[in-house]
Structure 1
């Protein structure tokens, strides 16, 4: 775990603060540091299993951002990482979407192979790792949401924030992990499913990174709607 944390901290020092990968990296570094502290303090009944899962999980992200041809789920973030119309919260959500929607399922399978166990043996650790992510989700959104009004109805970012759910992504990752484990003796079918999962998660990521108008412009539209100065047909 210390090795992957060191690599994330090196990325944080090297990347410009507004770079989309840097935005996600800061979020993920916070999550991983929290997870590491929980493991060290005895928050997991089987710390070796939890650490193996956490490390396999983090390694997939680090490999993706260093790859010449990254997985499809990571390409939108890497392609749009400097787009002026994409806001920091979108970068964070797109990274979390790629990492949980695709990488987490593969990390579970990899950890099972390393530990020589079935996914069921990791379910409690999977849930505890997920609890760490969920506990930080609200903080992440509050930290990166532009402006004080989270529920600005005219801001398209409000719609994007509400259209993606970490709980649903985590449940989908667990179902995908179990299916991939079941398909391990049919490698061609397993690879077809993995490629399909990768592509579908990438499509969601591209939607999350839709360039939006500036937050101030959306706020002015919202105030005009509330005051009756703009009529929506």
Structure 2
């Protein structure tokens, strides 16, 4: 009787595992993990980690997935995210032009991917801290994207549009997203406390996925 109950409980998980590529949950030795990393096998039932160790890593903002948004080219979502911290050459009145410490031009950061883009953003963060800056910009709109108010809402909409453009302009990416079915998408790192919604790219992908979903498998 106990054996029958155990089999009954396991059937949904076995079916789930057979519905998706097993490599999405590949076992990685703990000693190989980075200090920040959540490994593929750490997903709970019904979840999958968007791990950079699997094909799902392409959904990371770090991914080298070029796209055009509002007529501007970006090499990655991370490149867009970090570039808006830099002075905008199309807006002469941008007060950030008065600062001469910027290590890169905005254009250079727009063309960066992965850790290069992240490092460029971290260097910009130091300048923001030094000069007590808060606002970034998209076109004529300047905003504080961590204000948990209008600025955060505007940034969320911007990043969601960027992720949609990435899906639309990267061959096969919509198919891969839909292939995740009704799995709960999770990041491969521990989210920081009190982060605005724009940071939760994995949740945005699930919102976008619903738009084209015809059912779970």
Give the alignment's TM-score, normalised by structure 1: 0.29
Give the strand-richer structure, 1 or 2. Answer: 2
Larger RCO: Structure 1 or Structure 2 (Cα < 8 Å, ≥ 6 residues apart)?
1
Give the helix-richer structure, 1 or 2. Answer: 1
Give the alignment's TM-score, normalised by structure 2: 0.30
Of structures 1 and 2, the larger Rg is shown by 2
